[in-house]
A and B are shown apart, each in its own frame.
Chain A
Amino acid sequence: MAIPKICGIETEYGISVRGGSDFNPILTSSLLINAYAKPAFKRVRWDYEEESPLRDARGFEREQTETVVEDDSGLVNIILPNGSRYYVDHAHPEYSSPECSNPRDAVVWDKAGERILEDSIIAAAPLLREGERVFIYKNNSDGKGNSYGTHENYLVDRETPFSDLVKHLTPFFVTRQVFTGAGKLGAENGADEVDYQISQRADFFEVEVGLETTFKRPIINTRDEPHADPERYRRLHVIVGDANMAELPTFLKIGATSLLLRMIEDEFITDDFSLAQPVRSMRTVSHDITCKETIELADGRSIGAVDLQWEYLKLAKKYAQDNETDAGSAEVLERWEGVLEGLESDPRSLSAQLDWVAKLSLLEAYRERDGLEWDHAKLKLIDLQYHDVQRAKGLYWKLVASGKIERLVSDDDIAFAVDHPPEDTRAYFRGECLRRFSDHIVAASWDALIFDSGDEPLRKVPTMEPTRGTKAHVQGLLDASPDVSSLMANLSA
Chain B
Amino acid sequence: MADQKRKPKPKKDEETAQAAETTATEEKDEELEDLLDEIDEVLEVNAEDFVRGFVQKGGQ
Contact = CB atoms under 8 A, between A and B. Distances in A.
**A and B associate in one complex:** yes
Interface of A: 12, 14-16, 18, 25, 89-92, 135, 137, 140, 142-144, 146-149, 151, 213-214, 239, 362, 365-366, 369, 376-378, 380-382, 384-385, 392-393, 395, 398-399, 401-402, 404
In which size bucket is the chain B interface?
20 to 34
Tell me which of B35, B36, B51 has the highest count of chain A C-beta atoms within 10 A of its own C-beta: B51
A18 B56 contact: no
Contacts of B1: none
Candidate in B32, B54, B59 with the most chain A CB atoms within 10 angstroms: B59
Nearest to A10: B60
A369 B32 CA distance: 10
B53 to A, nearest CB: 6
A309 B1 CA distance: 49
Interface in B1-54: 31-36, 38-39, 42-44, 47-48, 50-51, 53-54
Contacts of A16: 53-56
A239 B60 contact: yes
A214 B59 contact: yes
- Dominant secondary structure at the A interface: mixed
A172 B36 CA distance: 36
Contact of B42 (A90, A398, A404): A398
B44 A148 contact: no
Contacts of A148: 56, 58-60
A381 B56 contact: no
Contact of B55 (A140, A142, A399): A142
Report whether over half of chain B's contact residues are helix, strand or loop; otherwise say mixed.
helix
Given A366-B36, A398-B38, A381 B50 contact: yes
Contacts of A365: 32, 35-36
Given A149-B59, A239-B60, A384 B39 contact: no
A146 B59 contact: yes
**10 residue pairs, one from A and one from B, having the closest CB atoms:** A148-B59, A90-B58, A91-B58, A213-B60, A377-B48, A381-B47, A377-B47, A142-B56, A149-B60, A16-B54
Contacts of B36: 365-366, 369
30 contacts: A14-B56, A16-B56, A18-B53, A25-B58, A90-B59, A91-B57, A92-B58, A140-B59, A142-B54, A143-B54, A144-B55, A146-B57, A148-B58, A149-B60, A151-B60, A214-B60, A362-B39, A366-B36, A377-B47, A381-B47, A381-B50, A382-B39, A382-B43, A384-B51, A385-B42, A385-B44, A393-B42, A395-B39, A398-B42, A402-B38
Given A25-B57, A25-B58, A380-B47, 20 more contacts: A16-B55, A18-B53, A90-B57, A90-B58, A90-B59, A92-B56, A142-B54, A144-B55, A146-B56, A146-B59, A151-B60, A362-B39, A365-B35, A369-B33, A377-B48, A380-B51, A381-B47, A381-B50, A382-B43, A385-B42
Nearest to B54: A16
A324 to B, nearest CB: 33
A381 B44 contact: yes
Contacts of B53: 16, 18
B58 A18 contact: no
B43 A402 contact: no
B39 to A, nearest CB: 5
